[in-house]
Amino acid sequence: MSLTTNGLHLVGDTLDRLVTAHPDKVHISIHFPEQTQELMWVRDQVMQLEALGILKPELDFG
């Protein structure tokens, strides 16, 4: 199973449900790479998901 966050912030109940579902892949898009705040948010999400054992980070620039 994989899912795309579509900009959803993975916190609280949403994060708990994601941990329970334990998907194979989570796609987190960067829509505005020129905005430092968005880059930091995505970085933090990836680090959190990795720490929870949900994913191994991969980057796709395609």
What pLDDT was estimated at residue 57? Answer: 61
Question: What average pLDDT values come out for the chain (62 residues) when binned by 10 residues?
Answer: 81 89 86 91 88 74 60
Alpha-carbon distances of 7 from 4, 19, 40, rounded to whole Å: 8, 18, 13
> Whole-prediction pTM value?
0.75
CB of 22 within 8 A of CB of 54?
yes
What pLDDT was estimated at residue 30? Answer: 85
What pLDDT was estimated at residue 60? Answer: 65
Element (H, E) at 26: strand 25-27
Nearest-angstrom CA–CA distance, 52 and 62:
26
